[in-house]
Copies of this chain bind each other. A is one copy, B any other.
């Protein structure tokens, strides 16, 4: 359920009502996008957990600076194409990768094959 803040007990003008209707409509689209984002992130972490187990089983280091540089470069250029701020795309990837490395360290710490 979406909610809109505003002064209580104040009568709204026609113009304000239209603006609030528009706001609720846009928020519904944002909620749909957020559901898609959550489901994609869940799938992404399933894949990175797989990577973590693979790396732990073969003694590969959790972080991979070359791979991260390639990802940053690719995401910045995808962001430019889709008119997303490339700096934000990079910040977003760093945010995700920090969580992934945290997961990988946990896997390495509990895996009998990791050193």
Contacts and interface: CB of A to CB of B under 8 A. Distances in A.
B6 A60 contact: yes
Copies of this protein, total: 2
B58 A16 contact: yes
Contacts of A43: 33
A84 B45 contact: yes
Nearest to A34: B75
Interface in A31-64: 31, 33-48, 50-51, 54-55, 57-58, 60-61, 64
Interface of A: 1-6, 15-16, 19, 22-23, 26-27, 29-31, 33-48, 50-51, 54-55, 57-58, 60-61, 64-67, 70-71, 74-75, 78-79, 82-85, 88-89, 92-93, 95, 99
